[in-house]
Structure 1
Amino acid sequence: MSTPLLDVTDLRVAFTGRGFRPKAVEVLHGVSLSIGEGETLGIVGESGSGKTTIGRAVLGLVKPSGGRIRFQGADITHASPRDRRTLSKSIQVVFQDPYTSLNPSLTIGDTLSEPLVVQGATAGDARARVQMLLDQVGLPRDAGERLPREFSGGQRQRVAIARALAPKPKLIVCDEPVSALDLSTQARVMDLFIDIQRQTGVAYLFVSHDLAVVRHISHRVSVVYKGDIVETGPADLVTSTPEHPYTQRLLLAAPIADPVEQEKRRAERHRLAELHREQNVQAGVA
């Protein structure tokens, strides 16, 4: 078997609480996952499940308390700031909020060219690369001369995607990149992610709370519940016929147009939640 692009083994992350003599609270309890080149792994779970912490650990934004993270076979678990700057050429991120992830005082062209120039590109090469990126994400040719406030939410997220693509990364961590958008814009941006992956072969670690979103974009899905991965498998199977009660509840939580069927799904979700609680009590889980 070929070496995975990203290989996370027994990842643990703990945060220190507040107050007098605060204790460390572990939020990830030994998470393992892998992503191949050109693959999308969807990470799904409710708020507070730990899914975003996985992506932040890969990016070096939180410090693991245990386990190991390998990228292209190299251990990056405790990479130095200098090594992280080098890694940023290969690992990029698209954040959730397109309104706060862009500098409002910089033109789109400056936003996209700045990291290229820092990495050694000439001004001319950076301008050419920026124009290619704008074309790639479907923005008008004059977008580089405009400020972020002149764009819609969907267009700003396209700028954020272009910024992530600028250094030609191998992996992009996508942290709820469509949750702040309306449904029609979500669909267009997700299709853009898919098209870019086909063109460039980039891999995605795609974090979302929405099973429908990860079903649309992912090859495989891992479900996170209270800091543990409870189910992993092909996206079509995990998001249509899940085995774990928690994943089943996530599926039933998705709204549908039929109010009678929606009421049935709500009742079944409550039944599964109660069953899951009873199983935890029997197993001695707090």
Structure 2
Amino acid sequence: MSTTASPTGPLLSLRDVHVSFPGRRRRARTEVLKGIDLDVRPAETLGLVGESGSGKTTIGRAILGLVPVASGTITFDGERIDTATAARRRALSRDLQVIFQDPYTSLNPSLTVGDTLAEPLVAQGGDARATRARIAALLDRVHLPADAAHRLPREFSGGQRQRVAIARALALRPRLVVCDEPVSALDLTTQRTILDLLLEIQEETAVAYLFVSHDLSVVRCMSHRVAVIHRGRIVETGESAQVTEHPEHPYTRTLLLSAPVADVAEQRRRRAARAAAAGDF
């Protein structure tokens, strides 16, 4: 991780955040997040890692106002946002954006790339000339050709579509981007190029990332700090090297054992060790 994070106070803070969903057929509500405390500092990447169903995506959705917070507070740049009105949420989109897992479903298939990138700019009152210039700059920023603006999402590969999604997230020059499993739908080679692009963008713009993933090896290469979530609770937080090389919580150790390796015997040993550790948490 080459980017140096700012030592200043948090840009985003979650304090004792609880989220619950209605149960089926009059059953009690299911508590998905159970007292989450997290901070993301300016220009920092906080990696949030956990298995499927751990609650990591729900944290991102709560930050974006897509699910209601039952209790606790979420603040952005000192302003409480978990109770923000719809109008305030629209205004916050200038500073707070998201990159979703599947770039194909997150892009409108009937809009050209240029129209997709123009939408947030026009919504914020940009004139036609400034919008065209910004679209050209965004395509260059994500290493796509200028003529990409005239094409539809289906004409691109998965990696190229994710570049378009990144460009859209950057359109309004946000200060923080929630990256929700942004490379998990891509092959390994393409994953590496997209991760390198995100690091390059952060180096040049000082944007902060909340990087959500199930893959601790990906989080390790992207993050200044790492938070591990298990069954709706943060079980370990610390500097990236500390958490990924010397984990303290048994669950974090099982995530490390889940990382694939080329050696069949080592993979078998890890599988056995993971199964043995499952009863520790």
TM range (shorter): over 0.9
Q: Specify the alignment match of 2:213 in structure 1.
A: 208
Query: Does the residue aligned with 1:89 lie in a helix, a strand or coil?
Result: coil
Structure 1 residue 2: Cα displacement: 4.2
Matches within 5 A, 1:48-197: 48-197=53-202
What CA distance in whole angstroms lies between the structure 1 residues aligned with 2:253 and 2:27? Answer: 36
CA contact (8 A) 1:3 1:73 kept: no
Shift of 1:3: 3.5
1:264 and 2:256 correspond: no
Letter in 1 for 2:31: E
Say if 1:44 and 1:214, in contact at 8 Å, map to a contact too. Answer: yes
RMSD value over aligned CA atoms?
A: 1.0
Q: Which residue of 2 aligns with 1:252?
A: 257
1:272 alignment partner AA: A
Distance 1:269 1:149 in 2: 40
1:22 deviates by: 3.1
Unaligned runs of 5+ in 1: 278-286
CA contact (8 A) 2:8 2:42 kept: no
d(CA) in 1 for partners of 2:100 and 2:193? 17
Is 1:3 aligned with 2:18? Answer: no
Structure 1 residues 158-190: Cα deviation after superposition (integer angstroms, max 9, x where no partner)? 000000000000000010010000000000000
Measure the CA separation in 2 of the matches of 1:271 and 1:36.
37
- 1:27 to 2:32 alignment: yes
TM-score calculated relative to the size of structure 1: 0.94
Cα shift at 1:48: 0.3
SS of 1:82's equivalent in the other structure is helix
- Aligned twin of 1:12: 18
CA distance, structure 2, for counterparts of residue 4 and residue 45 of structure 1: 22
Inter-partner Cα distance in structure 2 for 1:199 and 1:66: 36
Partner residue of 1:41?
46
Number of the residue aligned with 2:4: none
Deviation for aligned residue 1:115: 1.1
**Take 1:101 and 1:77, find their aligned partners in 2: how far apart are those partners?**
23
Q: Look up the equivalent residue of 1:233 and give its one-letter code.
A: G
- Compute the displacement of 1:266 (Å): 1.2
1:30 aligns to what SS in structure 2? strand
Deviations 1:88-128 (A, max 9, x none): 11000000001111111111001001110110100110000
Matched positions, count: 275
Aligned to 1:235: 240
Answer whether contact 1:3 1:72 (CA < 8 A) is retained. no
- The CA deviation at 1:17 is 1.0
Structure 2 distance, partners of 1:58, 1:184, is 30
Q: Which amino acid aligns with 1:121?
A: G
Shift of 1:264: 1.2
**Alpha-carbon distance between aligned partners in 1 of 2:34 and 2:123, rounded to the nearest angstrom:** 37
Q: Secondary structure at the residue paired with 2:24? A: coil
Which aligned segments of 4 or more residues in structure 1 are displaced greater than 2 angstroms?
A: none
- Residues 18-74 of structure 1 show CA distances to partners (whole Å, capped at 9, x for unaligned) of 11x332111111000101100000000000000000000000000000110010001
Separation (CA, whole Å) in 1 of partners of 2:9 and 2:255: 32
Deviations 1:237-280 (A, max 9, x none): 21122110000001001110001111111111111113x15xxx
> 3-state DSSP class of the match of 2:118?
helix
